Structure 1
Amino acid sequence: MGPAVHAFLLSLLLGISVCGRPTYTSRIVGGQDAVKGHWPWQVSLRMGQTHICGGSLITEQWILTAAHCLTTTWTIFTYTVWLGSIYADYSSEGLQYYVSKVIIHPNFHETTADIALLKLYSPVPFTSVTLPICLPTIKEHLTIPASCWVTGWGETKKMKGTDFYSTLQAAEVPVINHKACDRLYNPVGIYLPGSEPVIKEDMICAGNTNSMKDSCKGDSGGPLSCLIDNVWIQIGLVSWGIGCGQTLPGVYTSVIYYQKWINATISRAEVLHPKNLNLSDFLLPTVLLSLPLLGPSWT
């Protein structure tokens, strides 16, 4: 047992926050297989046993994902969350949890407010392979690094005849200036001062089109994780894009922008339902809106 594992266990015993502090910290090349335990907050959102989207563990009982991943055509107990494994397929290393509550942002429409929270039916025990990622704090101004990491099981250029990659992939992607990204998506906007921007204030752009490092279909809802002051913080979640790793960067819902909503929603839900929900709650879906799975996210 190495010193990092000892420090992790001590943090748990002392009640010190362990979010964003994985036990394993070896760096990996973007676009390659992830290392077990390096991204312990990464989850696979499933419909039955089929991977549909990514997500992130943000507390012992809450998952953050994209709103467009969810649909009202299925009842709540159809959704499951898979975590603790770098494999999308069944593995004895992973843990499966049922979803008891789905909360979609009330302003969600197409790519706007593309964010949702899932409450798990039972809490997740924190281990070296299942840890939450830290979220930005409202009171502190974050200095976003030049590049962050996107992780997921989504499609890659190397794939042929399969929907998703079986092993978790990780890619380091540059974070792109908001105005610069809007100019890429809306090149004529500079000549039309009154036109609506394509990249709204609740969005973040990231991706390296030169090296084809980008998120893609199947990565939706997964985290854009940044190492800030030696702590991993989620600043965005995969939302939409045009193509994958081609001429335009990927677009992410800004977790920074929605931090107040996340905090308020979780606090309100815990007050209303301080204990686990019963079976009758399971049979009453709380999904508010829907789009076809993955909707128009990648074209």
Structure 2
Amino acid sequence: MRTLPKTTLSKGLISLCLCLLFIHLQSLDALRLHGEPFPAQAAISLRSSARISAEREGRITGGDLAALGEWPWIVSVQNQFGFDFCGGVIIDDVWILTAASCVSGLRARNLMVLVGTLSSWNNSALHYFVDQIHVHCNFDKPLYHNDIAMLRLTESIKYNKETAKISLSEVDELQEGDKLSFAGWGTTTAEGSRSQYLQQSQGNYLSVDKCRTALGETEDVDLGHVCVQMEKGKGICYGDTGGPLINSQGQLVGIGNWGVPCGRGYPDVYARVPFYHDWIRTIINGCGKV
């Protein structure tokens, strides 16, 4: 039997370690934090985990396991190796809505989405490749604003009882205290690993003014955002960026943007979908730039 040279084995072990480190860091960074690089950068670069651990407290984010078909329009946004790093939502046959911070700077050919599954590691679930990435032209202008993007798939999605497109909330009629629900495959604790199975939770709508105050009078929240106040110990965490926020009618009202991880009692911030209706229609009608 032929034996590989020691140098070849060493290079192979180094490559394997780098790959595992990449996967670990990617799973940690997939929530946009105040003052931090955005999630897409975790998918294309290696960074030290020391900076990340200093920002964390080991609090449970308090989600519940979702049932199959309960969130038929949610997708797992993954790299070409099948590792998920963000969420997204089916809004039309070939269109996925997600956060710009999830995909800005990435190549479409290196992305795919997994649909109709509770498990982000489900090899039998349908996956679709991405043909185009449309990032809002004013993303991060100013910082933390217009964090929304659309992915055009290479083929139409096949709908069934586990896979469907969501209706967009057409009119912004949210009232203080309204119940809003969200879901994702993010970490279930600030120090934990990614959840293999879809988690869901609920919070209450918080007005822009009250949200700004709760976040230290920040200017990084405006009318283009939706804020959700959770109980302490609950909230979005690493990996939930780009995921859906829905109202009691099951309509899409927000896309996960940024937050203070994880479950510390601060409001979570989403892109307000009705605010971007014109932009979404423009992209679907073929008038946007790739």
Instruction: Identify whether the pair has TM-score above 0.5, normalized to the shorter chain.
Output: yes
Tell me by how many angstroms 1:141 deviates: 5.2
State the distance in 2 between where 1:81 and 1:155 align: 19
Q: Identify the match of residue 204 of structure 2 among 154, 171, 174.
A: 174
Q: Does 1:239 align with 2:257?
A: yes
Aligned to 2:73: 41
Matches within 5 A, 1:13-162: 31-48=63-80, 49-72=82-105, 74-92=106-124, 94-109=125-140, 110-137=143-170, 140=171, 142-143=173-174, 146-157=178-189, 160=192, 162=193
Pair 184,143 (structure 1): closer, same or farther in 2 beyond 3 Å: closer
Tell me by how many angstroms 1:44 deviates: 0.3
Q: Secondary structure of the residue that 2:286 maps to in structure 1?
A: helix
Q: Identify the match of residue 213 of structure 2 among 183, 191, 195.
A: 183
Pair 173,77 (structure 1): closer, same or farther in 2 beyond 3 Å: same
Which amino acid in 2 is paired with 1:131?
A: A
Q: Secondary structure of the residue that 1:173 maps to in structure 2?
A: strand
Runs of 4+ in 1 over 4 A off after TM superposition: none
Q: Does 1:218 align with 2:271?
A: no
Q: Does 1:208 align with 2:239?
A: no
Q: TM-score, normalised by structure 1?
A: 0.71
CA contact (8 A) 1:207 1:245 kept: no
State the distance in 2 between where 1:95 and 1:153 align: 17
Tell me by how many angstroms 1:66 deviates: 0.2
Which amino acid in 2 is paired with 1:106?
A: C
Note the alpha carbon deviations across 1:166-219, whole angstroms, 9 max, x for none.
000000111112111111112xx4xxxxxx733122111113133x22111101
Pair 237,141 (structure 1): closer, same or farther in 2 beyond 3 Å: closer
* Superposition CA RMSD, Å: 2.0
State the distance in 2 between where 1:158 and 1:67 align: 23
Percent identical among aligned pairs is 29
Q: TM-score, normalised by structure 2?
A: 0.73
Tell me by how many angstroms 1:143 deviates: 4.4
State the distance in 2 between where 1:141 and 1:254 align: 9
Which amino acid in 2 is paired with 1:200?
A: D
Aligned to 2:34: none
Tell me by how many angstroms 1:158 deviates: 8.0
Q: Secondary structure of the residue that 1:227 maps to in structure 2?
A: coil
* Unmatched tracts of structure 2, length 5 or more: 1-61
Q: Which structure carries more helix by proportion?
A: 2
Tell me by how many angstroms 1:56 deviates: 0.3
Which amino acid in 2 is paired with 1:153?
A: W
Note the alpha carbon deviations across 1:122-150, whole angstroms, 9 max, x for none.
0012110110111022xx45345711111
* Unmatched tracts of structure 1, length 5 or more: 1-29, 190-195, 273-284, 287-299
State the distance in 2 between where 1:166 and 1:159 align: 15
Corresponding residue pairs, total: 225
Note the alpha carbon deviations across 1:236-267, whole angstroms, 9 max, x for none.
01100112110311111111111111112111
